[in-house]
Chain A
């Protein structure tokens, strides 16, 4: 079953087309990485799919709900972990999680129970009472992803989840993301090609607002006639094939 289906999804700003006729299908439970250089249209695609901006034309359905006509329903089933760490700085880890559960409509008791569950899942017991602003970058990012998951979304958008983290924190977060595979549909945007290669079921490469190619990492390497994924990305995104 499809979790996401876009049909000729297009976004224009005045005479500049940022995303053009995007036809994309993502299966339920799949981890799909969207790659592209800066300005390729990844973030705009994520913003349209998460109902932050309206497409100029075309449509997308998320679990059969249109982003244009059913945006309220879409917002109930998705969650976004934005590129920068987005936590409430003066709230503790526990309070941040309970806050997000609350605005997604969970009762106080449910929010507390969900919070404990997600704290255990993300090994955050030792920092649960620490204020978010006092946490390291790695912990803040982990909290940010946990906040995106507490509302029990069917689809989650992880926008550059490991950007700016050191290698250890990045690997640590990868483990957390890997645990989610198969349970919910994940759309991941990243500049770290090895991240996309090792974590994703399928990868889409965008350039100049167009989806240039998609498939597994092996399929993309085969398409670009190379054994190196970075080289494959350069050839596909750089219009060499």
Chain B
């Protein structure tokens, strides 16, 4: 009950911020429109398939999730940096209830963001198939990963630094290293190797394979994401619990 009360407060704090709507929903949609417009201008014979909707929407949905990290981190760091946290710390809430209360509202918000992305994609030629549902489901570990990154950043950085780390660095990293905007093989070398060691490209690939119906390839990609999600979640929970004691 206490967790749900705290989660409800966090939901209101996030959704009543106009930037949530702008960056969480509108910005990914604007990108979808722009890149689809670019794609429609590319001659069919050019062999450029990167911006075709089945390649694009899994990338945009993962990129959109990087803003979920920003929302999480901003909320946690704002609470930490004000005396509001003292009020919470002197209440009967426990560590686990804080973490659950911060995490729970972000899961439906992330799902909504992904679903809106896929629904909008119908306007740009995405054909309905059950694979779309699978593509949405394979985004769940990515959702957990980005929420955990947000929790970790919000716990470690103050609210100003969070804007830089999650708002600029993470969104750019997840964009450049995900293979959404350009083919990583074209860059090759160390850039491709680094991208391959990070979870973003695997998260996008898992969504793409789900949409293509190439089910056997999903697991390998998803394991990367699940591994990162698990490790970062554990680190975030440990650091959060440690900082809770420190911040007092």
Chain A residues close to B by CB (< 8 Å): 47, 50-53, 72, 75-76, 78-91, 95, 99-100, 102-105, 131, 147-148, 151
- Which A residues are CB-close (under 8 A) to B248? 47, 52-53
Report A137 CB to chain B, min CB distance, Å. Answer: 14
Contact with A along B82-109 (1 / 0, CB 8 A): 1110111111110000000000000000
A104 near B13: Cβ-Cβ < 8 Å:
no
27 CB contacts below 8 A, A to B, read A47-B248, A50-B90, A51-B90, A52-B89, A52-B90, A53-B248, A75-B90, A75-B92, A80-B86, A80-B90, A81-B87, A82-B86, A84-B83, A86-B83, A86-B87, A88-B9, A88-B12, A90-B13, A91-B12, A95-B9, A99-B5, A100-B87, A103-B5, A103-B6, A103-B92, A105-B2, A105-B92
- Which A residues are CB-close (under 8 A) to B87? 80-82, 86, 100, 147-148
Complex alpha-carbon distance, A91 and B91, angstroms: 18
Find A102's partner among B2, B17, B86, B88 (CB 8 Å cutoff): B2
Contact with A along B1-45 (1 / 0, CB 8 A): 110011011001100110000000000000000000000000000
Find A103's partner among B2, B12, B16, B82 (CB 8 Å cutoff): B2
Contact with A along B216-248 (1 / 0, CB 8 A): 000000000000000000000000000000001
Complex alpha-carbon distance, A199 and B8, angstroms: 37
**A52-B248, A90-B16, A91-B13 known; A102 and B5 CB under 8 Å?**
yes
- Which A residues are CB-close (under 8 A) to B84? 82, 86-88
B86 near A88: Cβ-Cβ < 8 Å:
no
**A50-B90, A53-B248 known; A90 and B17 CB under 8 Å?**
yes
| Majority DSSP secondary structure for residues of B touching A | helix
Besides the known contacts A51-B90, A103-B5, 16 further A-B residue pairs in the complex with CB atoms under 8 A apart: A50-B90, A52-B89, A75-B91, A76-B92, A80-B87, A81-B87, A82-B87, A83-B83, A85-B83, A86-B87, A95-B9, A99-B9, A102-B2, A103-B6, A104-B91, A105-B2
A100 near B90: Cβ-Cβ < 8 Å:
no
Chain B residues close to A by CB (< 8 Å): 1-2, 5-6, 8-9, 12-13, 16-17, 82-84, 86-93, 248
Best-surrounded residue of A51, A52, A72, A151 (most CB of chain B within 10 A): A52
A86 near B92: Cβ-Cβ < 8 Å:
no
Query: How many contacting A-B pairs (Cβ < 8 A)?
Result: 73
Report B7 CB to chain A, min CB distance, Å. Answer: 11
Complex alpha-carbon distance, A100 and B2, angstroms: 10
CB closest residue in chain A, given B86: A82
A72 near B12: Cβ-Cβ < 8 Å:
no
- Which B residues are CB-close (under 8 A) to A86? 82-84, 86-87
B83 near A82: Cβ-Cβ < 8 Å:
yes
B12 near A95: Cβ-Cβ < 8 Å:
yes
Report B109 CB to chain A, min CB distance, Å. Answer: 15
Find A91's partner among B2, B9, B92, B93 (CB 8 Å cutoff): B9
- Which A residues are CB-close (under 8 A) to B93? 103
Best-surrounded residue of B87, B90, B93 (most CB of chain A within 10 A): B90
B90 near A78: Cβ-Cβ < 8 Å:
yes
- Which A residues are CB-close (under 8 A) to B1? 102, 105
CB closest residue in chain B, given A98: B5
Report A114 CB to chain B, min CB distance, Å. Answer: 13
A90 near B12: Cβ-Cβ < 8 Å:
yes
- Which A residues are CB-close (under 8 A) to B92? 72, 75-76, 103-105
